[in-house]
Every structure is written in C-alpha cells, then in structure tokens.
Amino acid sequence: MGARVGQEARCGSQGRSAPGSGAGARPGGKRRSCTLRSGSDPEAEALPGRLGVSAQWGGPGQKRRRWHPGPSWGLGGRESEGNTVLGMASSSPDSPCSCDCFVSVPPASAIPAVIFAKNSDRPRDEVQEVVFVPAGSHTPGSRLQCTYIEVEQVSKTHAVILSRPSWLWGAEMGANEHGVCIGNEAVWTKEQVGEGEALLGMDLLRLALERSSSAQEALHVITGLLERYGQGGSCLEDPAPFSYHNTFLLADRTEAWVLETAGRLWAAQRIQEGARNISNQLSIGTDISVQHPELRTHAQAKGWWDGQGAFDFAQVFSLTQQPVRMEAAKARFRAGQELLQQWQGGITAEVMMGILRDKESGICMDSGGFRTTASMVSVLPQDPTQPCVHFLTATPDPSRSVFKPFIFGVGVAQAPQVLSPTFGAQDPVRTLPRFQTRVDRRHTLYRGHQAALGLMESDQDRGQQLQQKQQDLEQEGLKATQGLLASEWAPSLQELGSLFQAFVKRESQAYASAS
C-alpha cells in the first residue's frame, strides 16, 4: 500500500439528557445525573456542568417534556401522552436523505460557548475515517493535489482534525487548531451542476480549515477558491457520477456563518446569536449578510428575479420542481428547527448528541442505501484561554456509537485504529476511468463496530451489556472534558494530546473483548 491521495502527512507531533441521547438515558426512560468516575468508582462526585450536562427536557421557562428511549441506546423515542409531538419526517426506505448541521450561539447555548454539530449521511457501506493533519510550511509556488484537481498551495497551513470518506482528500466535517469548525451539505439549485471535475465541496471545506483562523476568514477562503477553481466532480465512490453544489455551516468561538452556493455564485448569513440548522436545501431568504457581487444581476439575466422588491435567495435560486431528496430534507430541516427551539437557552454538547441520535425525525438516518456514517459535536468556549473540545464517532449510526473527545495540543498524533488503508496509484479514485473496482477501506475501529452492531442485533443480553460499555465510555469522556473546562482536571500536555487516541483504543478493546 502506498501514499494517500495528495501525499499528505498522516500523523505528526506537531443537563441535560437530550432526546434520544444514549449518554444520559437509561432503560425505562429514567435519567441519571452525570458523574466523573475516578477509575471505576461509581460514587465519584459530579463536576460543575461546564459542558452543560443535566437531566431535564426543555429550556428555562419552557414546558418540560419527558422523553422515552427507544428499544436500543439512543434510538428515536417518543414523547409522553399529553405533550405535543413534534412534526417529524418519516424515513421511508425509498426516500434519499443526506446531512444535517446545527449550531448554537449564546444565549441559545447553556454555557458561554458556541456548539457545533453534524451528521454525515452517505452511502451505507462507505467508510469514514478520522484524520489528524499537523500544521505545515510549504514551498512557495508549490501545488496541492486535492481529490480530482491541483490547486496552488499556501505557505502555511493550520493543524486540522477531519472526519472524511476515506477515498477522498477533503472532509465532510472537521475543525482546526484555532477553533474553526465546518460542515457541508449537498444542494441542487436552478444553476446547473457542471459535468467536469473541479473542487468537491468537501475539498473546499478542508482547504478552508487549513487556511483560516476564524469562521469569517474560512468563508472568504471558500468563496475565493470557488471563484477561481469552481466546484464539481463525482461525490460518490461509484462509476455512475453523482454531483451537487454545496452549502456550509461555519463556526468559531464567537459566531457562525451559513454559506449557500449555486455554481460559483453564493450568499451568506451571519449568525451572532441563537440556534441555526441546515439540511440539503437553500435556507437563506432576504436576510443576506454578504453575497457574490453578480448574484442579483445573474438572477435577473436568467429571468428568475424581476429586480423589484426584496431579493429572497432561497426563493429565487431553488428549483421549482424539487428532487425527492430535497423534499425529504424540508421535513428534516423543520424537525431540526423544532428540536433546537425546544432547547433554546439550554443547548449543550449532550443535547446536540441527542439531536444527532434522533431517528424519528430522520436526522439519525438509516434509509435504504444511505445512513449516518459519522457524527461530530464541538464545544467552542468564548473564553480563548479554554480549549475547544471536539467529539467524533468515526463509526456509523450515532445512536449506537461513542462520541470521543479530541483536543488540539502538544503531542497530538494520529489514532491508527481510525485510519483506513491506502492504495497509492492503484486506488480506484486515481486510476482512469475512475471507480471501476472496489477496495476494502474499513479501518480497525470500523470493523470492531460492525461486529458490535451484529452482536446487538443477534444477542439481546450481550448487546445491552456492550451498549452499556459504550454509554459509560462516552460519559467518561464528557465528564473528563467537563472537568478540564472547570479547571478541576489538569492533565499533562501528553495526556491532553493523546486523549482521543486513548478513547479510541479503549473502544476498540471493548469490541474485541465482546466478540
């Protein structure tokens, strides 16, 4: 096996219980307060809720709601009789679905932090790996190989943690050492999707993380690259091309931006307070903070806008006849809005994990050939002296996966268990015509998780025991990072840098011992 696409460095030294949240829910619908365990001591004292883990449904001043877990950890759930049931989408096996991104900016957050979350919904057999790329310096004028095309490299790039389909160069979601987080979504508009290969939306996402120190700077990076190189190319590891344009949710410690594109055109909305979500559709209306300079004249020239009255980007650029996948996205978008609204003022990392685990709405997706293949939640404290904490699953189906904490710091290195094998020049993405063969890209944790899911479905007792181990491991990660932010845990730099790797190792061991 040879080098990865682009020849990148792969390692270096450089509350409440939410709806459907496995981490805070127990069988029978009872919730428990969350405690930091010292070793295996169940009597350890609870730490102050700096990540906002508590045990009630509904924000301050809102009607309290009870949530009943589904048959397995974190599955959908239902609300008690007498409460209003949210108008959520059903996930028909024939309804194509895709990603959902969420962000909470104070005062919507329960703590003084911006909280970011994303589910990546992709072909159900696609493997997603978690890759750490250290900061780097590069030769002036050098070129950088992305998934399909080369771009001009910059002199310095930031360290990034990426969750990505293992066959491509970019990423579905990720964060950098400066606390910038980005997630992307597929979208189809009146602007035709080009047939040629260019930058994937996932390439744009990674390039922005490597080159920006704020969400606003990341927006400028993406729009500049979009103007210069365009977007295009197949987004699936399949000989039949599947292409789309992209929307992005960008966040940092102080604010968030929604960026929605149509070809090289775009509009962006700044989010300085409150909660926001995106789900495979144009969602920016008349509240446009910044836009491509030719956006309105192009719409007029095409006959999509008469130049009179308010300019509604979503209305002007959305397809008149929406594909089935986008009609399904509307219901998921509304469900996501309603869940965020229910938690206004009380949104935490664990609340976001619960939303990502919600199957009834289709946000935690398992529909035909698609499913949620990886998930991520990030806590970005407004206090710059506190570290940002990023929780990643590296495995499919967040309702039966563990969110594991990652923190940038000295000594951070690649966790080998979540790194897929490489195939060099023989990789089907590199040989022409592309994708004529398939290779096994499963990493060690993915294989163990596959076996664990099989056990959960074939042996109820052993499956429940394994799910309990998942819950306990996730809670330990939540409470450890809670203690860190509360200044009640002072790990060494080496401990901090190896935190994610340690949790990945323990999860892998749990699956191995259960098999």
Residue 429 belongs to domain with CATH number: 3.60.60.10
pLDDT of 513? 93
List 322's β-bridge partners, or say none.
none
Mapped onto helix, strand or coil, the DSSP state of residue 338 is: helix
Residue 401's nearest CA partner among 335, 477, 338, 333 is: 477
Measure the CA angle with vertex 379, ends 399 and 419; round to 5°.
60
Please confirm, yes or no, whether 99 is among the known catalytic residues: yes
Q: Examine the pLDDT at 359 and tell me if it is beyond 80.
A: yes
pLDDT of 479? 96
- pLDDT level of residue 268 (50, 70, 90 thresholds): very high
Tell me, yes or no, whether 352 lies in a domain: yes
CA–CA separation, 17 and 34 (whole Å): 9
Mapped onto helix, strand or coil, the DSSP state of residue 126 is: coil
Tell me, yes or no, whether 349 lies in a domain: yes
Q: What is the pLDDT of residues 5-23, one digit of tens each?
A: 333 333 333 333 444 444 3
Sequence-ordered strand ranges (E) for 159-278? 160-165, 173-176, 181-187, 245-251, 256-262, 265-271, 274-278
When the pLDDT of each residue in the chain is averaged and rounded to a whole number, the result is 84
- Contact (Cβ atoms closer than 8 angstroms) between residue 117 and residue 139: no
- Contact (Cβ atoms closer than 8 angstroms) between residue 156 and residue 164: no
Catalytic-role residue among 99, 146, 235, 364: 99
How many angstroms from the chain centroid is the CA of residue 359? Answer: 16
pLDDT of 459? 95
**Which residues have C-beta within 8 Å of that of residue 125, sequence separation ≥ 6?**
none
pLDDT of 135? 97
- Contact (Cβ atoms closer than 8 angstroms) between residue 298 and residue 250: no
Q: Examine the pLDDT at 246 and tell me if it is beyond 60.
A: yes
State the virtual CA torsion across 277, 96, 402, 112 in degrees, nearest 10: 0
Q: Examine the pLDDT at 295 and tell me if it is beyond 80.
A: yes
Q: Examine the pLDDT at 208 and tell me if it is beyond 80.
A: yes
DSSP structure string for 9-50: --------PPTT-TTTB-GGG-B------BTTBTTPPPPP-T
Tell me, yes or no, whether 476 lies in a domain: yes
Structurally, how many domains does the chain consist of?
1
Q: Examine the pLDDT at 509 and tell me if it is beyond 90.
A: yes
pLDDT (mean) for 27-31: 32
pLDDT of 11? 34
Mapped onto helix, strand or coil, the DSSP state of residue 68 is: strand
Tell me, yes or no, whether 403 lies in a domain: yes
pLDDT (mean) for 408-413: 90
Percent of the chain with pLDDT over 70: 81
Q: What is the pLDDT of residues 127-173, one digit of tens each?
A: 999 999 999 999 999 999 999 999 999 999 999 999 999 999 999 99
Tell me, yes or no, whether 128 lies in a domain: yes
**Which residues have C-beta within 8 Å of that of residue 111, sequence separation ≥ 6?**
49, 50, 51, 52, 348, 379, 381
CA–CA separation, 24 and 74 (whole Å): 9
Q: Examine the pLDDT at 497 and tell me if it is beyond 80.
A: yes
CA–CA separation, 333 and 314 (whole Å): 14
Write the burial class of residue 228 (CB in 10 Å: 0-12 exposed, 13-18 middle, 19+ buried). exposed
pLDDT of 423? 97
Structural domain span for residue 356: 100-513
pLDDT of 163? 98
Farthest-apart Cα atoms in the chain, separation: 69
Tell me, yes or no, whether 80 lies in a domain: no
Structure tokens at 215: 């969400």
Q: Examine the pLDDT at 105 and tell me if it is beyond 80.
A: yes
Percent of the chain with pLDDT over 90: 73
Structure tokens at 129: 């790996």
CA 201 vs CA 168, 205, 232: distances in Å: 11, 6, 8
pLDDT of 315? 97
- pLDDT level of residue 401 (50, 70, 90 thresholds): very high
Q: Examine the pLDDT at 462 and tell me if it is beyond 70.
A: yes
pLDDT (mean) for 384-409: 97
Q: Examine the pLDDT at 93 and tell me if it is beyond 70.
A: no
pLDDT (mean) for 72-91: 29
pLDDT (mean) for 291-306: 98
pLDDT of 324? 74
Tell me, yes or no, whether 457 lies in a domain: yes
Tell me, yes or no, whether 120 lies in a domain: yes
